[in-house]
Amino acid sequence: MNTAHLKLYLAPLCTLVLIGAVFGHSLTLPGPEDAQAYHQRVSAVAEDLPLSFDGWTAEPLPMQPGSMELLKPNVALRMRVSHPDYDQPMEFLIVQCRDARDLAGHYPPNCYPQVNGYIQLDAEPRNWHAGDIDVPGTEYRFAVNDLPAAPERYVLHVMLLPDGTFARDIDAIYKAGADYLRRHHGAAQCQLFIRDASVTRAERDRAFIAVLTAYADLIRAIGSASAEE
């Protein structure tokens, strides 16, 4: 075979080798089935959460219309939580998705302005301590409209990753969704929505810590994905 013929066949041959290498590598990447045991474990813990704890009562509520289609969650719990020391009940939400990117539309700076028309006034990094778990997150303050003296609402928010770490904002969730080795484990978020703006900072913290502590088993389950799964 002369040099001209060799060059003619070499390029297609190299292309086929590269295609084969890429295909072979793709077969080694984790798929949704590799995270199935993890998601089943999280779901099982979510089915056995207490509805009363430390003087608090939790009443299950249906998810907001359209949210299930948006989130496609593995776990979605919405609770009205109340305590005799507080004049109004609050709303606690925890959602765990198989694909971390599905949480983007439910991220408070995206969700409340777009769905409720709220105006974001503040986003303060916070740290809460729920039992033996240190929980970094963000406390958001919203106005219900742009009129002077508009009523305000508080949202205490945490994002949870399957490796047991927490995130304050959506960037870590986007990163998790882009990680081909871990993306099928998804991510989660929990938040406490407080309608009564007269509730003090210390009272807001007390409420959030009480709920996080009561549901610590679920938080641990969400963060329990091993490197082998």
Domain residue ranges in the chain: 1-30, 31-222
pLDDT higher for 108 or 104? 108
Strands 56-61 and 52-53: what pairing? antiparallel
Distance CA 188, CA 185 (A): 10
- What's the pLDDT band for 161 if we cut at 50, 70, 90? very high
Mean pLDDT for all residues in the chain: 86
Mean pLDDT of 197-225: 96
- What's the pLDDT band for 184 if we cut at 50, 70, 90? confident
> Which residue type occupies 159?
M
Q: Is the pLDDT of residue 42 over 90?
A: yes
Report the share of the chain in percent with pLDDT over 90.
64
Establish how many alpha carbons lie within 13 A of residue 99's alpha carbon, considering only the half-sphere containing its beta carbon: 10
In this prediction, residue 25 carries a pLDDT of: 34
Do 75 and 38 touch, CB atoms closer than 8 A?
no
Cβ contacts of 163 within 8 Å, gap of 6 or more: 182, 223, 225
Digit-coded pLDDT (tens) for 51-101: 999 999 999 999 988 888 888 999 999 999 999 999 999 999 999 999 888
Distance CA 90, CA 55 (A): 14
